[in-house]
Structure 1
Amino acid sequence: MEVYDVTIIGGGPAGLYSSFYSGLRAMNVQIIEAQPYLGGKLNLYSEKIVWDVGGIPPMPAGQFIQHLVNQAKTFQPTIRNGEKVTSLKKRADGNFQLETTKGKTYLTKTILLAMGNGTLDPSPTPFFTNKGEPLKNVQIAVTDFEALKQKRVFISGGGQSAIDWANTLAPIAKEVTLVYRREAFKAHESEIERVTSGLVKCKLQADLVDKKLSADGKIIEAITIRNKETAEEEMILVDEVIVCHGFNQKNELFEQNDVGLEVFNEYYVETTPQTKTAIPGIFALGDAASYSGKVHLIAGTFHDAINAVNAAKLYIDPKADAIGTVSTYADKLKPKVAKIWEQYTTE
């Protein structure tokens, strides 16, 4: 059975960039992703603009995913979609053994935990049916902006996602109402300034107290909110509802491993700033990791990936260079660089 140098659990930004960097450091890699697609949580916001990555102009998350995937495939890693790791143990020969939902067994020298906060399921809300399914005009993520043109849009939530949707939809929707139960929004300051500038109707310290459904019980026609300070109630007519209440983070791997991997603060893995966990050979990065100075941005994820791959390389070969470098003069990149230059010179 093949033994991989690196197994990356998770195919979001952290895992995808780790794949590229592992290949650059001449390690054979596999990515195991529970979803049938790559890109992680970015797929929930495929139409939202990604702003915070150095050197990349603002672009829709869906387009950004494709750039990440193309880069990740540079050194032909093995990619396994729709397959979830269910158990993990350390063998007597020093390798880790993984079991998956497809009944497969894989061996690997190191593991990079890049699964974010685990499997993401929407948190139950008043906008869901008794079976836990969203009502017909309720969305967790917007995938078609055009469908919301001239619609009365109700957004519940006050974090970065809620603010982003409100700012994006304000110019095209008939009306955007943003309702949050706390005293202040939690997002980048510049985005909060935009959302409170007048185009969006902002309702802070408001609780959702009732909803009016259509005759068939499948569509929300109106939502009643109550101000926490004044107890005043207001009924808001709606066409579409966007719910930004976060997700239930689930990661069974913490419950089904024999190596001592533990969850910290509900769904993080506690690491050093170099992504090392308490188990030698296992590294955690991206949203899965927690350490002093951690930056929970995509840009910070790339930094984690570099540290994790370099640490994995040293774990496998203590005599290797501690830090890998990316140079267009590297032998492994020369053929690819030549093709890129050919593309630009022929345009």
Structure 2
Amino acid sequence: MKKIISVVGARPNFMKIAPIHRAFKKFREEHPDSEIIHKICHTGQHYDNNMSDIFIKELELPKPDFYLGVGSGSHAVQTAKIMIEFEKVLLNEKPDLVIVVGDVNSTIACSLTAVKCGIKVAHVEAGLRSFDRSMPEEINRILTDAISDYLFVSEKSGIANLKREGIPDERIFFVGNVMIDSLVYYLPKIDKSNVLKNFYLKPFEYGVVTLHRPSNVDYKDKLSNIVDFLREISVFKRLVFPVHPRTYNNLEKFGLLTLLNHNIVLTQPMGYIDFIALVKNSSFVLTDSGGIQEETTYLGIPCITLRNSTERPITVEIGTNYLAGEDINTAYGYIWEIINGNAKVGKIPELWDGKASERIVEIIVRAIQNW
């Protein structure tokens, strides 16, 4: 018997693990005599209903086999809690492989714990680099890649980055983007969503806003400038703003909530299906997120990213993503171009075809059979 444990912790992890779990399930159905068992461990890094439970239900994931319940805390506290609890799972289950995805604290914590226990690690979405070490996610990415045995890459910049860091070719696999696997698989459900009707929206007559990074929302002057920016945009386009808990708390703490007018619709964080339906029918997305840059590129929706760097350069090079930096005037210029019908036309990157998870499982199964 060969045991594999996949780790989820934060919202984006669920969209990445769901298609992998589905691919393992399909493999088991096609090979009923296979000894491969796939289990899921939820660290509890995101732990409220809007941040995790709704994703498990919508993405048709089974109830996690293990729930660590670590909750919130500083980077050090959260990472340490995950390591302590995940070690207990590993010692009890003795898996042959741990799969981690993305760049959150759960990713580095579980990969480091597994390696220390002599267990092989596969990193899905390996090789992405923003080259900005002030981002905690960048540190998580670099360290996880350095200790992983199998590095599954979503875009070709990742291959170049890993080779430059000395990772041998035999550990690197260009497989495509599992986030797009989820998007392709759930498009029929997404197209049936009532989210536009619920908010009285018409297709392409509104923009979507998501902001959560500390550099944008943790400082009063910066967040105040962004609020002023949103007020200016809302004169031309209605805005829908699913607010991250961190962002909402800071808007409230800094006394900025009352400045948001009726043309800026604040909502709770949404489930995956409704949120992607909102994005798919929008005029543009203004964000500081990572995954949304990929989803908008696949959907052909203009995306203005309020960050100085992106770990997903393919979305800027051939996709629909604009890297605006932290200069509000630059972002305003891009939005004005889009509103005036001059948005750039992007292309879908290589291997973003909805089959990345199948390629990953095929590689893992082939490898396990040789152990």
* Structure with more contact order per residue of length (Cα contacts < 8 Å, sep ≥ 6): 1
Greater helix share, 1 or 2? 2
Superposition TM-score, scaled by structure 2 size: 0.28
Greater strand share, 1 or 2? 1
